[in-house]
Amino acid sequence: RFGLEEVSRLTGAPVSESFRLGRAFGAARRPLALAGPGALSGIAGFATAMAVIALNLAVGAMGRPGGYVAAGDAPLDLPPPQEPDQVARRGLSSARVDGAGWATLPVVRQSPAGLAANLAAGRPYPLEVLIVHGVNPAHEWPGGKTVEEALAAVGLVAVVGAVADETARVADLILPEASFLEAWQILPPATGIPFDYAGLQQPVLEPIYQSRAFEDAWFDLARRIGGPAAAAVPAGSYADWLPSAAAGLHRAGRGTIAGGPFHARNAGFMEERGWKAPGPQTAEAFWEEFRRSGSWVDAPRGEHSPAELIGDRAGRFDLWPERLLADARKLGGTPVADDALYRGAPEEAGAGATGPSNHPLRLLLFDTSTLWGGRAVLTPVLLEMSGFREDIGWDSWVEIHPETARRDRIQAGDRVRLDSRAGSLVARARITPVVPPDAVAMPRGLGHRHFGRFATGVGVNPLALVSPVLDPWTGGAILDSRVRLTRAQT
């Protein structure tokens, strides 16, 4: 549908460059297209994801070495789904508060951005109780003030967490959660690793304070509710239940307790020939070995074919998914062009996009391993390492292309100001050619207002520059903004 001239007009990339990249990608021995979270959370995030999928399918990079492979699984023994009772059926038949799966977001399974917006507006009905766990929306979502207003509209907000963060500060009830050093947990395989795996996290010390594992709090709540909810909860604590869950790994009749590379290769060699590597004979003995080793692994599987990954439809796949497009046409009750699936949203829909003259630079957000989106910066050593590759610690920085820096007379280490329609902030300048001349980039994770005695007040939160705009394709917030860069007044 799009010739090279049209692609060049839409993207700004020269025809010669698109042609060169296309030839190189198609001729490569192991071509693979990837997109990071920064690209997927932008204004054209969904279109970028669809384009990456289409590229990988077009060159057959599915289910083969060097290409896309299916993630592994852990065959745990989990309780069967419970039949909903009358209260549950009534709740499941009601419109979701986040709007997912309904008229405005028919193609979305869950929508954090929709949840915040609808809570603030009290639609489709006021929410009486909200339990928050594993996320800090008052800091991690754009429109922090709006998120706090949304939480204030809920009858009771309960936060289960290990840190008194920004969301906990506005909650009605805080339930202290045991840290990973104090709690049991079965860890699933990491995304993208093509073999089945289960890890066992074990406590190295007793809880120091009156904290509990989230699972134990959840079990206790279900027992207090009674009825089918209580019947669905195993007896005892979460730690008491783990051996029975791990029994599924033993009953699977494959895989082995991890015992070094040689052991894993030996187990895989035997399984390929129809034999099971020797191991514990009972579920009880398996649990003891699993607890001592800390992990169970099944030898890497043979690569899946595209038919196994995407479903066999007479050996064909559809790059123009009619079912998805049919749902997408209902978005917000307004017509959506089919080619928007690959072209993305128009520039005017971007959060804070006020035009090149007022805000000429696009803001790119990224994460670092030390900051981890702001959830790990609790200790001085991590704050010191927050920008170790940039020789910047205990502070936020903005990455600027050398041409942009020369034009605005900015040198490395200068304090610079970024302004957008949503807000403004000041950070240190880092000059690097990896950022495009028409953009600046900032790491997420700092700028906490409440996050322990070390991280509070360190750096700035770049989400202050992003307006809360809902992406109707994904249900998330569009982390996209245009900014103006100037030297900060000293």
| Tens-digit pLDDT profile for residues 76-122 | 998 888 888 888 899 889 889 998 877 667 778 888 888 988 998 88
Angle value at C-alpha 82, between 79 and 88, nearest 5 degrees: 140
**pLDDT of 32 above 90:** yes
Q: Is the dihedral of CA 43, 167, 134, 228 positive or negative?
A: negative
- CA–CA dist 10, 1 (Å, integer): 13
For position 99, what pLDDT does the model report? 87
Lowest mean per-residue pLDDT among 120-129, 147-156, 266-275, 396-405: 266-275
Which pLDDT band, with edges at 50, 70 and 90, does 51 fall under?
Answer: confident
Please report which confidence band the pLDDT of residue 393 belongs to, taking 50, 70 and 90 as the band edges.
confident
pLDDT reading at 203 higher than 70? yes
Which of the pair, 375 or 295, is modelled with greater confidence?
Answer: 295
Lowest mean pLDDT segment, chosen from 12-26, 67-81, 341-355: 341-355
Mean residue pLDDT of the chain comes to 84
pLDDT recorded at residue 268: 62
Asked if pLDDT for residue 4 goes beyond 70, the answer is: yes
Mode of pairing for the β-strands spanning 481-487 and 415-419:
antiparallel
pLDDT of 245 over the 60 cut: yes
Question: pLDDT exceeding 90 applies to what percent of the chain?
Answer: 43
Check pLDDT > 60 for residue 235. yes
Looking at the predicted structure, is the pLDDT value of residue 353 above 70?
A: no
Q: How far apart are CA 33 and CA 53, in angstroms?
A: 8
pLDDT band at 197 (very low <50, low <70, confident <90, very high): confident
Give the mean pLDDT of 235-251.
93
Confidence of residue 277 (pLDDT cuts 50, 70, 90): low
18-32, 36-50, 156-170, 339-353: the lowest-pLDDT one: 339-353
Predicted local confidence at residue 400, as pLDDT:
97
| pLDDT value, residue 349 | 44
| Residue 354: per-residue pLDDT | 43
Query: Which range has the worst mean pLDDT, 100-114, 208-222, 414-428, 437-451?
Result: 100-114
User: What's the pLDDT at 267?
Assistant: 61
Residue 303 has pLDDT above 60, yes or no: no
pLDDT for res 310: 60
What's the whole-number mean pLDDT along residues 372-383?
Answer: 78
Q: 348 falls in which pLDDT band (50, 70, 90)?
A: very low
Q: Give residue 53's pLDDT.
A: 86
pLDDT at 158 over 80: yes
Cis amide prior to 124 (ω within 30 degrees): yes
Is residue 221's pLDDT more than 80?
yes
Average pLDDT over residues 356-373: 83
What is residue 333's predicted lDDT score, i.e. its pLDDT? Answer: 58
